[in-house]
Amino acid sequence: RPVLVPVLGDQLTRKLASLRGRTKDDTVILMMEVWDEATYVKHHKQKIVLIFSAMRHFAKELEQAGWTVDYVKLTDGDNAGSFTGEVARAIERHDPRAIHVVEAGEWRVQQAIEEWPDKFECNVEILDDDRYICPLSEFREWAEDRKTLRMENFYREMRRKTGLLMAGDDPEGGEWNLDKQNREPPKDEMDPPARPIFEPDEITQECIQLIEDKFGDHFGSLENFGWPVTSDQAEKAADAFFKERIEKFGPFQDAMVCGQDDLYHSMLSTSINLGLLDPLDLCERAEKAYKDGKAPLNSVEGFIRQLIGWREYVRGFYWHFMPGLESDNKLNAQRGLPEFYWTGETDMRCLSDSIRSTRENAHAHHIQRLMVLGNFALLAGINPKEVQDWYLVVYADAYQWVELPNVSAMILYADGGKLATKPYAASGNYINKMSDYCGDCKYSVSKKTGENSCPFNSLYWYFMDRHRDRFESNQRVGRIYSNWDRMDKSKRQDYLDTAEKFLDSLTPADSSWARAD
């Protein structure tokens, strides 16, 4: 009797703990396209194509290497629709002596897996996902010892643990974090090389047909589909980043240019999250680029911090604070998501361009997600549930373990400040400084209130005034209230009226964009 190894859609690597050390004649690998996963939110079409195509390619590679793969397609007649249902059917087919499965990335799926030992008669082993640098038990231990959790402290531990950019016990170059050097606004002559686009092959074409057919009403366009769907393609995408873009990755990390969707970002998150790329290997390549004199320390440190700092930190944070994190709403934000998040139809140029990129590429870069789309949702007081659904739907790299901490805690402050020391709230001034959006916008960024004033300006004060009780004592933002208090009463009222008028003009989105009725 074989061992049954279910491999989930975001576990696409032969280095997976459940596959390592197994022999081919003793193992059946089970991969499942299931309705539950494809529809728990109405994912961007590119996201489903990416996952299905990458799963199908991975299954083919395994089969070519001599493994037995039982691959269940979405349209297979008896498809049970869920992971648990499909494992039950596979048990009937293969009569395994045991099931070896790597823990799921997401709470929802892990809850289901944890029922398997009681549900199924064979032995079920749930293994740690050791593709991450920090096991969940280690994060828990680290977090339980502390009153406040800070990414920066966690990150230093990860630097020590991995030895990346370390000079003995000290950080390479004397400083742990070079973020100060990574805030350059865009330059006129910026001309970032395009990332490689991978033309859909036959397998991907089939997935495109399937998704158009079954999920044609989901958000997003499939025209630009060019994501890596195999580890070979993902390695090529990484090669291009290390050759052409890492040098300027750091300085322009927070820059935004209308119509330039990739800039100097790696564009590797979809591949990393699927398992096609190993994050530690990427960090080692980045470190080598520094040591070989091909990239400056601020770029390399910035890249490594995103991966062994932020990425690992949000994963630990997610599991530490679930399931409460999902329903947290400490700022009591109740407004519905504006329809323009789905249609892109707004005169606010920063938002419409970020939404265009999201629709065309199933991607927007970090500062668009944080300081344009996120900042707006925070200031306007959009309820966290709708914002969470939106981010989970629209990005090809979105899985709840990484989306939720970024959305709920980082942008919306819905956790009450467990993750961020201050709300990421900013007026139009910030967007103007870091982008070329404002010049051609219908709104005037220099106008603070009234007709055609940039909505971020009045929304900023509307937000700060609304949450004065909470933020006045905050060391990092409390000081701004003296500016507010120095303004004439009528000016303050002007800000609040302008913001309210703008908010009243917004059409709320229909919930059927994100979830089936």
Radius of gyration of the chain (CA): 24
Q: Does 208 bind ligand DLZ (CB under 6 A)?
A: no
Q: Does 48 bind ligand DLZ (CB under 6 A)?
A: yes
> From CA 257, how far away is CA 350, in angstroms rounded?
9
Q: Which is nearer to ligand SF4, 205 or 444 (CB)?
A: 444
* Rounded (5°) CA angle 252-254-260: 70
34, 62, 222, 350: residue in contact with ligand DLZ (rule CB under 6 A): 34
348 interface partner picked from ligand DLZ, ligand FAD, ligand SF4, none, CB below 5 to 8 A per type: ligand SF4
Parallel/antiparallel/unpaired status of strands 123-127 and 166-167: unpaired
Q: Does 302 bind ligand SF4 (CB under 6 A)?
A: no
Q: Which stretch binds ligand SF4 (CB under 6 A): 18-26, 72-80, 169-177, 432-440?
A: 432-440
70 interface partner picked from ligand SF4, ligand DLZ, ligand FAD, none, CB below 5 to 8 A per type: none
Which of 35, 78, 31 shows the shortest CA–CA distance to 57? 31
456 interface partner picked from ligand SF4, ligand FAD, ligand DLZ, none, CB below 5 to 8 A per type: ligand SF4
* Binding-residue total with ligand SF4 (CB under 6 A): 14
> From CA 480, how far away is CA 436, in angstroms rounded?
26
* Rounded (5°) CA angle 457-359-255: 50
Q: Does 454 bind ligand SF4 (CB under 6 A)?
A: yes
Q: Which stretch binds ligand SF4 (CB under 6 A): 246-254, 343-351, 361-369, 416-424?
A: 343-351
Close Cβ partners of 170 (under 8 Å, ≥ 6 residues apart): none
12, 16, 28, 51: residue in contact with ligand DLZ (rule CB under 6 A): 51
178 interface partner picked from ligand DLZ, ligand FAD, ligand SF4, none, CB below 5 to 8 A per type: none
234, 438, 464, 499: residue in contact with ligand SF4 (rule CB under 6 A): 438
Q: Does 449 bind ligand FAD (CB under 6 A)?
A: no
13, 18, 233, 306: residue in contact with ligand FAD (rule CB under 6 A): 306
Helix, strand or coil, per DSSP, at residue 67: coil
> From CA 421, how far away is CA 286, in angstroms rounded?
29
> From CA 271, how far away is CA 227, in angstroms rounded?
8
Q: Does 256 bind ligand SF4 (CB under 6 A)?
A: no
Site string for ligand DLZ, 74-113 (x = CB under 6 A): ------------------------------xxx--x----
Q: Does 38 bind ligand DLZ (CB under 6 A)?
A: yes
Torsion-angle region of residue 185: left (phi > 0), alpha (psi -120 to 50) or beta? beta
* Exposed e or buried b per residue across 272-298, where buried means at least 16 C-beta atoms within 10 angstroms of its C-beta: bbbbbbbbbebbebbbebbeeeebbbb
Q: Which is nearer to ligand SF4, 101 or 348 (CB)?
A: 348
* Binding-residue total with ligand FAD (CB under 6 A): 28
Q: How far is the CB of 400 from ligand FAD (least distance, A)?
A: 8
Which of 346, 327, 337, 433 shows the shortest CA–CA distance to 393? 337
Helices (H), 95-150: 107-113, 116-119, 136-144
* Exposed e or buried b per residue across 472-510, where buried means at least 16 C-beta atoms within 10 angstroms of its C-beta: eebeebeebbeeeeeeeeeebebbeebbeebbeebeebe
Burial of 429 (0-12, 13-18, 19+ CB in 10 A): middle
Sign for the CA dihedral angle at 389, 253, 421, 175 comes to positive
Q: Does 428 bind ligand SF4 (CB under 6 A)?
A: yes
Binding residues (CB under 6 A) for ligand DLZ: these are 8-10, 32-34, 37-38, 43, 48, 51, 104-106, 109, 399
Binding residues (CB under 6 A) for ligand FAD: these are 265-269, 272-273, 303, 306-307, 310-311, 314, 365-366, 369-370, 374, 391, 395, 397-398, 402-403, 406-407, 410-411
